[in-house]
Amino acid sequence: MCKQYRLLYYWLFLIWFWSGQVFASPTCAVGSKITSGDLAKSGNFTIQDDLGKYLNLGTSTITTPYVFYSPQAGVSISRQFTVSNISVSAVAAPFTPTNVSVSTYQTPHAYFTASPDPLTVAPTQQGAFVITWAPTTTSNASGNIEFCVDDPLYGGRFVIPVEGVVEIPDSKPPTPTMSVYDGATQITDGQTIPVDFGVTTVGTPIQKTFKITNGGPAVLNVGALNLPQGFSQVGTSPSSTNPLTILPGQSANFTVRFDALNAGTVTTQLLLSNDDPSKDPFNFAIRATANIYPEIAVLVDGVDIANNSPTPINFGTVALNSVTKKTIVIRNLGSVHMNLSNLVLPTGFTASTALPSIVYAGTDNYFTIQMNTATGGTLSGAVNFTNNDPDENPFTFNVTGTVDPSLPTDPVTPPPTGITPEINVLLGAANIADGSTTPVDLGTTTVGSSYTKTFTIQNLGSVEMRLSNLTLPAGFSLQGTFPTTIYAGLANNFTVSIDTSAVGTLTGNISFENNDVDENPFNFPVTVTINDVPAPVNAPEITVLYGANSISNASATVINLGSSTLGSSFVKTFTLQNTGTATLNVSNLVLPTGFTLEGSFPTSVAVGASAGFGVKINTSSIATYSGTISFNTDDSDENPFTFSVSASVISSSTGGGPSIPVAYPKVSLFEGQTELPSLETTVVDFGTTELGHTITKTFTLKNNGSVPLNLSGLTLPTGFSLVGTFPSKILAGLSDTFNVRLDATTVASSTGSLSFITNDPNYLNYRITLKAQVDDPFISVTQGSTTISNGTTTALLFGTNTKLTFVVRNITNATVNVSDLTLPTGFSLSGRFLATTTSLAAGGADIFTIQKDSETASGTLSFKFNRSGGTNKTFSFPIAVTSSGGEVPTSAAKIQLFDGASEISDGQTSAVNFGIANVGTPVRKTFTIVSAGYAQLNLSSLTLPTGFSLVSNFPAVVYAGLSSSFTIQMDALMTGSYQGTLSFTTNDTNKTTFNFPLTGSSEFCYAFANILLNGGCFTLPILQTVGIVEKTASNTIDSVKFAAGISVNQGAFTQSTVMNGFVGNAVVVAGSIQVNPEHVGQQADMIVVGVYRPLPNLGDDWYMMDNNNPLLWDSDFSTLTARQTGVTLQTIQSVILYQGEFLATGELFIFFGYRLSDGQIIYAADSVHVDIQ
């Protein structure tokens, strides 16, 4: 019984204890804090902070205060504390568990508040109270937040220590406000539209005065005026030693002079150093132009004749009816074209050859004066003509001569029959008759359109034809130039532009003078109709390409597809482009005999897209095929589309030597090591990114075939773009890359096709699928008023600030988690990251503060973030103390200068070579200056040799560790060599005057596909295919191009021609090579080989050119001789393949190229074809 009573007593005690009868509710009087127990581990309730840490409010008191960091007064910061009622009383069931309440907060400062009061938490539930720091001034505060917890077992008054901090903004002194004016026009800092000084002549400076105003409130000091090459300062202020001091509300002037020492237009930057912190330096673009003029020299019989010379040119004493002429040579010693006109001759003298209208810089031209010898007597007088040499206009000289009847009389001999020019004028293929009364119909166009017509003038005679004095009716104007000379057998064009500003019909006569005796002047009427613009109609518009060349519908020009060897694979690709506004439909392809379709023929081409088809030539027998390719389209004015083609099949070479190869290219596409087959189901996923954050992928194209792979017509889906260039050609066995960027400019899910056109007959239109997802950004980061872009490369500068505070804001509609802050060396976190929480509610924001610990610190700040527990993303941006990574050190400046990857040494004797330029086509080089020291690099006083000019801003300052560049142009205004020294001053004590030599030259007609013959510049047809023999890894044929053609009797050069006989037909076969840059400067042999076919279907013989002599070749490359040996390869290499007369009838297929010292031969795999009948 005693034991039972004791047990009953024990249970009664428990009931009394848990019903609160043993202990009354704990006291909550201020200051009566609990002093026992460990609430981090046991008790009826727990409290956690916003980082999830349990607060130990028992015997182990909190020693580290909770920091509330506000970036400025008026910004509130809150932190949340979670109370959990864990209901220990539940173990005494069936007794009722009790609530836990938090109340009666006491704060150390009025800026601190806590709520709710009270907070009541039911058993097994959670609640939260929030402490807020809301400063209204920059005062800081610290102390304890006290509050009562009403719990029957562990209740009492508890304490949380807190600290409230307000960032004190840096004090900023008043600053000036700088403005610059050109007259009444204000110039903005950084303005790119140039302030124009106007136009002057070389040697005549012009100047402009600018006004600087100070809008206050502080005094404005303007220091050094940094002027580029070609400009100078008038006066001595402003300068670093004599600055302009401008009071608030006042202004001052400075004057800049354009020195006009060299010809050309200079566009560059002017810089003014000043102490307006937002505009230092103040810079804007300026422009000025200096023109130069020609310099005339007149020579007779090799003797220079002075303008207005009193000594006459003497034609001598001659007999009646004798032919007496003097050739007057006009030489242009200047650097620009010289214009001539208005020749005046005295009585008794005529111009048997007309005065030329133009003489190009550095060249000669002439006219001929003939004395009238029909009657006796002395003839004399002044000859003069106008020109644009400013100090010798007009040019005047005297002539004299005597006709003596007593001298034996020469019979009057008429000129030989046919020794005259013969004019023929065409519009397209239609001849135009001189003096016709029927207007030539130039067609119909619409208002506001650009409408031109090109006329061809042929010289069918045997001597050169001179043209002048073109006159056009109202509403017509000359576009480009009108030819002045057409040599025998050649032709030239002129183009007329029609004024389409109003509806109506324009008519009138076109007329020009010439020296065809029976068609001078040549004149004919024209008419053209201008209609109103019709209402827009969506329609397709077809363009057909062979390679890069556009094919005209129904053109009479036969497209030569080249030649291939017997039994080879011979495929050519054509491209269809739709440049219209509706889908292009095509059908019913018809091919001539000997040609078959390779692959498939497209049925439709989308707007702006391209599609290709391949044509295979039958190589089963030796033959020449020709005919018309046609197909139907729904392009209303080009249906059907037709064009003519030809191709030749020749026999294979003998003797074991290789023939000129023609085979398939083979395309493959890769991303990294993953091959991407041409299928719609091949998907490249760019993944998910945020708005404004681009993703770029690199794709690799490989050519596993044996001939070059031609590429064109890249199309990309909406939202993607090409970065850089898309390769147009990949040589056999090589590869190239291109880059595609997800632009991320709009929020969208993007899927679409990447496609391009190839000449691989199995993949004429290569196509894969791209996909990507662009989302709205999750967070924004700001510092003060500056919004920071994720991934920016522009460093945020601390300057003199010790600390900077950043605000992170959640701009989504879901929770964003932020973590893992990393800082560069020299910076540290001040306070917490983030100050209140690592989870930002939708629309919520928080802060963190970074402190600089070094004056030379720089690097990248980054942290991770994700939305609702998704994949982590990184937010990063660079921070630095100053723009050079720290305060400007006191160490010395050091310069390095580079031409591309090659470093240039100060004072080096080897010249930087600009190469050879075509006259009138400048060549540029960009030089990079690296500031390799630990102090800023100062630069000035750039000087250039004659013939070179600055075409970009020359930097005045390059900060330590950074680089800048400038561009120099070899002007190439006239033929000849250019050389001299480039120099500038620096503050590198070892290289105070940095200098090195420049060199280069300029030649007339120096351009790819041009050939200079007998003083004339002729154009050669461009060949499509390049081949290689003995290819090595160290030598490639990248960038090599060939052009070649044949000219018969001084006619135009064509790739293929038919000759009627060989006797008396003078031919020139010429070629032009754009040499691989890696081969320029190497020694090489020029090789020329040909296939001669005496009659159709007979065997072929290979020949090689041994210097000037054609020799039989056994097709063994080890025995191949050269047309020229020991040639130093230039960037553009011209070669005469053959000159003279051919020796027999038959067909010739001529190939050429160059052979390097390692035995490699690079050649044109397309031939020049001649059919001698």
Structure tokens at 796: 């945020």
pLDDT tens-digit readout, 454-488: 998 988 876 778 899 899 998 999 988 899 888 77
Spell out the domain ranges in the chain: 24-166, 178-291, 296-403, 423-531, 542-650, 667-775, 798-873, 895-1003, 1010-1172
pLDDT-derived band at 661 (thresholds 50, 70, 90) equals very low
Token pair of 1160, please?
A: 């490699």
Position 643 confidence tier, pLDDT thresholds 50, 70, 90: very high
Domains 178-291 and 895-1003 share a fold: yes
Q: What is the distance between the alpha carbons of residues 792 and 507, in angstroms, rounded to a whole number?
A: 62
pLDDT (mean) for 124-134: 89
- The whole-number pLDDT of residue 476 equals 93
Backbone angles phi, psi at 413, to 5 degrees: -110, 120
Lowest mean pLDDT among 176-180, 559-563, 1081-1085: 559-563
Q: Hey, what are 420's tokens?
A: 């005259």
Confidence of residue 1037 (pLDDT cuts 50, 70, 90): low
Q: pLDDT tens digit string along 1110-1154?
A: 888 887 777 888 888 888 988 888 899 888 888 778 888 899 999
> Given a cut of 80, is residue 549 above it in pLDDT?
no
pLDDT tens readout for residues 834-861: 754 577 887 777 778 899 888 888 888 8
Query: By percentage, how much of the chain surpasses pLDDT 70?
Result: 86
Q: How would CATH label the architecture of 24-166?
A: Sandwich (2.60)
The better pLDDT of the pair 674, 1025 is held by 674
Q: What is the pLDDT at residue 20?
A: 32
By the 8 A CB rule, do 461 and 422 touch?
A: yes
Strand partners, 728: none
At residue 962, the pLDDT reads: 65
Residue 648 has pLDDT above 70, yes or no: yes
Token pair for 1106: 């041994």
* Top-level class of domain 1010-1172: mainly beta
Homologous superfamily of 895-1003: Immunoglobulins (2.60.40.10)
Q: Greater confidence, 417 or 1089?
A: 1089
Q: Phi, psi at residue 392, to the nearest 5°?
A: -140, 45
Does the pLDDT at position 1105 exceed 80? yes
Q: Residue 916: CA atoms inside 13 Å, Cβ hemisphere, count?
A: 18
Q: How far is CA 243 from CA 235, 252, 253, in A?
A: 12, 11, 12
Thinking of the domain 423-531, which architecture would CATH place it in? Sandwich (2.60)
Q: Assign 43 a pLDDT band (cuts: 50, 70, 90).
A: low
Question: What distance in Å separates the CA atoms of residue 595 and residue 662, rounded to the nearest whole number?
Answer: 16
1050-1070 mean pLDDT: 84
How high is the pLDDT of residue 587? 94
Go through 1108-1122 and write b for each residue having 16 or more CB atoms within 10 A of its CB, e for each that does not: eebeebebebeebbb
Distance CA 635, CA 257 (A): 59
- Band the pLDDT of 114: cuts 50, 70, 90: very high
Calculated CA dihedral for residues 750, 756, 760, 764, nearest 10 degrees: 80
Query: Half-sphere exposure of residue 654, counting CA atoms within 13 Å on the CB side?
Result: 9
Q: What is the pLDDT of residue 906?
A: 94
In this structure, are strands 1083-1093 and 1101-1106 parallel, antiparallel, or unpaired? antiparallel
3-state secondary structure of 13: helix
Integer CA distances (angstroms), 566 to 344, 597, 645, 662, 663, in order: 67, 19, 19, 10, 12
1103 compared with 537, residue with greater pLDDT: 1103
Average pLDDT over residues 204-230: 85
Q: Which helix (H) or strand (E) holds 16?
A: helix 2-18
* Rounded alpha-carbon distances, angstroms, from residue 806 to 13, 72, 125: 60, 12, 36
CA distance 838 to 850: 17
CATH of 296-403, one of 3.40.50.150, 3.10.20.30, 3.40.1190.20, 2.60.40.10: 2.60.40.10
301: confidence class by pLDDT, cuts 50, 70, 90? confident
Only one residue has tokens 């250019």, namely 978
pLDDT at res. 21? 29
Interatomic CA distance for residues 353 and 366, integer angstroms: 8
686 pLDDT higher than 60: yes
The CATH architecture assigned to 667-775 reads Sandwich (2.60)
Token look-up 């040639």 returns 1127
Q: Could you read off the pLDDT of 3-20 as tens digits, one per residue?
A: 343 333 333 333 333 333
What secondary structure letter does DSSP report for 88? Answer: G
Report, as an integer, the average pLDDT of 378-395.
91
978-1011 per-position pLDDT tens digit: 999 999 999 998 999 999 999 998 887 788 888 8
Separation between Cα atoms, residue 905 and residue 882, nearest integer Å: 30
Ranges 257-266, 629-638, 936-945: which has the least confidence: 257-266
Q: Radius of gyration of the chain from Cα atoms?
A: 44
Q: How far apart are CA 607 and CA 876, in angstroms?
A: 41
Q: What is the pLDDT of residues 550-573, one digit of tens each?
A: 898 988 778 888 777 787 778 888
Answer for the pair 914, 935: CB distance below 8 angstroms, yes or no: no
Give φ, ψ of 1074 to 5 degrees: -90, 105
Q: How many residues does the structure list for the chain?
A: 1173
Q: How far apart are CA 55 and CA 47, in angstroms?
A: 6
Per-residue pLDDT at 17: 34
**DSSP 8-state secondary structure symbol assigned to residue 71:** S
pLDDT at 525 over 90: yes
**Fold (CATH) for 178-291:** Immunoglobulin-like (2.60.40)
Helix (H, G, I), strand (E, B) or coil at 10: helix
Instruction: Please tell us whether the domain made up of 542-650 is placed in CATH 2.60.40.10.
Output: yes
Q: What is the pLDDT of residues 780-817, one digit of tens each?
A: 888 877 888 877 777 888 888 888 888 888 887 788 88
Cβ neighbour number for residue 874 with a 10 Å cutoff: 12
* CATH number for region 798-873: 2.60.40.10
Tokens of 1112: 């039989």
Report the pLDDT value the prediction gives residue 589, as an integer from 0 to 100.
Answer: 94
Q: For residue 986, give every residue at least 6 positions away whose Cβ sits within 8 Å of its Cβ, in sequence order, or none.
A: 893, 895, 937, 938, 939, 992, 993, 994
SS3 91: helix
Is the per-residue pLDDT at 833 higher than 60? yes
In which order are the strands placed within the sheet that holds 765-775? Answer: 683-690, 765-775, 748-758, 709-715, 729-730
